[in-house]
Amino acid sequence: MIVAGFGMRAGATATSLRDALTATGAAPDMLAAAIDHAPRVAALAEALALPLVAIAADALAAPQTVTHSPAAQAARGTGSVAEAAALAAAGPGARLLVPRRIAPDRMATCAIATSLPAPEPRS
Q: What is the CATH number of the domain that holds 43?
A: 3.30.420.180
Which of the four pLDDT bands, split at 50, 70 and 90, describes residue 70?
Answer: confident
Mean local confidence (pLDDT), 71-85: 89
- Beta-strand runs (E) in the chain: 2-8, 30-34, 52-55, 95-102, 108-114
The structure's pTM equals: 0.90
Supply the range of the domain harboring residue 53.
Answer: 2-114
pLDDT at 46: 97
pLDDT at 120: 61
- Alpha-carbon distance of 80 to 72, in angstroms, equals 6
At residue 1 the predicted structure's pLDDT band, cuts being 50, 70 and 90, is very high
Position 100 scores a pLDDT of: 95
Q: How many domains does the chain have?
A: 1
Assess if residue 29 is contained within a domain.
Answer: yes
Residue 29 per-residue DSSP state: S
